[in-house]
Amino acid sequence: MTTLDLDFVRSQFPAFAHPDCGKWAFFENAGGSYAAKPVIDKLQHYMVAAKVQPYGPSDPSEDTGNAMDLSHARFEAALNAEPGSVMFGPSTTMNTYVLAQALREELSAGDEVIVTNQDHEANIGSWRRLSDGNSGVVVREWSANPESGRLDVADLDNLINDRTKYVFATHCSNLAGEIHDVTALVKLVHDAGARIGIDGVSYTPHGMPDLKAIGADFYYFSLYKTYGPHQGLLYVKPEILKDIPNQGHFFNAEFPDKRVTPAGPMHGEIACASGVIDYYDAVDAHHFGDDGADTAARMARVGHLFAEHEAALANRVLALLRDKNVRIIGPDTAEPHKRAATIAFKSPTVANDAIANHLRSHDVACGVSDFYAYRLIEALGMNPEEGVVRVSMVHYNSADDVDRLLTALDDVL
């Protein structure tokens, strides 16, 4: 079985060679990952050689326009998405907010929308606001288990009825780490005659989803957590996009990709975004050679390499936390494609800040926050102001990184 060549992987991230950044064992990847070299190279090229208005009558302008078009095309291929279905915006939060404003125009009093309390607020707040004022729209909550933080699909099944218009859920929780069977969720929702949006922010750092196989009506995630620039990516099924109420300038209404991305795009960030897929292709070629597989197939097998590697690392951390009797949010063991290597926990005896500061003294970086999953922390009976400790790994983390983390945690817990 092919295993991940970590030396090759880490050679693709300049951060590891930097004298300041490179000394850290970095475990707050869920908050934002390092950027891959192809992304950095393309952004450098844009800033030096092509930072002009795109699509104009000059070589630098044409260069930028072509680079932006390439990013759309490469992500559509990588996600197995239809041409013209992928858009870029300033962040996932902004993308969902604009999308919600568009969907608001299609909802009537008595229509129902279902959200969870497990998600990042970007996939909760925008949809909850659909019931503001006297709209008459009803928002129902699919609630996580107050002990584990996990969701039960049977609870969603009980909430859906003939008034349900939309369901919004997450592919992977940014605290519980649970990876949901979103293909099954989509079928459940579609069978009920409703539409579904999936937040992939905490899933996509661990692999690119196959959107054709999943079948969601909307899918969105953040490129700065997937080794790229600070941008949000939004997918909308073309048959929905062409009819969605226009949120952009009136004279752009005929362009579907401008309907839900009204602001002027960040040209450089879009121009370099294709570097993320270049990086995936480099990993695939290094491990599997050039065998003619299509882009979606290459993404799938790279994602499997990532998942196997990450699960092995996560299980080492989870084993120590179980031994220390801390409260682990979500599953306490990791299985590839079932649990991400994003681990949030709370010690009954040691303060979060004390843990983080001790890790910092060992050049181990973690996070302490509510991580915008305020409602989940509250539902678990914990104080969102205190938050939890989170250690989050991706495929470029090493066994040595985990050794340093475990030594520091063993000292402080």
Check whether residue 167 and residue 261 sit in a common domain.
yes
**Structural domains counted in the chain:** 2
Determine the pLDDT at residue 265: 82
In a domain, 286, yes or no: no
Instruction: Specify the pLDDT at position 1.
Output: 78
User: Which DSSP state fits 410?
Assistant: H
CA 207, 211, 214, 216 torsion-angle sign: positive
Q: What is the pLDDT of residue 78?
A: 98
Fill in the DSSP letter of residue 326.
P
| 396, 162 Cβ separation under 8 angstroms | no
> Which residue type is seen at 139?
V
Phi-psi region of 372 (alpha: psi -120 to 50; beta: other; left: phi over 0): left
Give the model's pLDDT for residue 256: 81
Do 25 and 144 fall into the same domain?
no
Residue 285 lies in a domain: no
One domain, residues 15 and 62:
no
The set of residues, in sequence order, having a beta carbon less than 8 Å from that of 352 and lying 6+ positions away, is: 346, 368, 386, 387, 388, 389
Please name every residue paired with 368 in a beta bridge, in sequence order, or none if there are none: 389
The DSSP bridge partners found for residue 344 are: 390
In a domain, 202, yes or no: yes
Q: Is residue 168 part of a domain?
A: yes
DSSP output for 75-100: HHHHTT--TT-EEEES-HHHHHHHHH
**CATH number, domain at 214?**
3.40.640.10
Of 242, 275, 308, which residue is a domain's last?
Answer: 275
Q: Please, where are the H alpha helices in 289-397?
A: 295-323, 352-361, 374-379
CATH assignment of the domain containing 361:
3.90.1150.10
User: What is the value of pTM for the model shown?
Assistant: 0.97
Looking at the structure, tell me whether residues 219 and 365 fall in a common domain.
no
Query: Are residues 108 and 251 located together in one domain of the fold?
Result: yes
Instruction: For residues 333 and 211, state if they share a domain.
Output: no
Among 275, 307, 322, the domain boundary falls at: 275
Q: Which two tokens stand for residue 269?
A: 């960030």
Is 206 within 8 Å of 340 (Cβ atoms)?
Answer: yes
Residues 119 and 244 in one domain: yes
Distance, CA of 348 to CA of 352 (rounded, Å): 10
- The answer as to whether 386 is a domain residue is yes
Dist. CA 317–CA 331, nearest whole Å: 12
Domain check: are 11 and 89 in the same one?
Answer: no
Does 116 lie in the same domain as 231? yes
259 and 335 together in one domain: no
Identify the pLDDT of residue 261.
87
pLDDT at residue 258 in the model: 87
3-class secondary structure, 278: helix
Instruction: Specify the DSSP element, H or E, that contains 197.
Output: strand 195-199
Domain that holds residue 366: 6-35+295-412
Q: Is residue 343 part of a domain?
A: yes
Q: Say if 190 falls within a structural domain.
A: yes
Give the tens place of pLDDT for each residue, 292-340: 999 999 999 999 999 999 999 999 999 999 999 999 999 999 999 999 9
| In-domain check, residue 287 | no
Tens of pLDDT, residues 48-72: 999 999 999 999 999 999 999 999 9
The tens-digit pLDDT sequence of the chain (413 residues) is 799 999 999 999 999 999 999 999 999 999 999 999 999 999 999 999 999 999 999 999 999 999 999 999 999 999 999 999 999 999 999 999 999 999 999 999 999 999 999 999 999 999 999 999 889 999 999 999 999 999 999 999 999 999 999 999 999 999 999 999 999 999 999 999 999 999 999 999 999 999 999 999 999 999 999 999 999 999 999 999 999 999 999 998 888 888 898 877 899 999 999 999 999 999 999 999 999 999 999 999 999 999 999 999 999 999 999 999 999 999 999 999 999 999 999 999 999 999 999 999 999 999 999 999 999 999 999 999 999 999 999 999 999 999 999 999 999 99
Looking at the structure, do residues 246 and 372 belong to the same domain, yes or no? no
- Domain co-membership, 254 together with 342: no
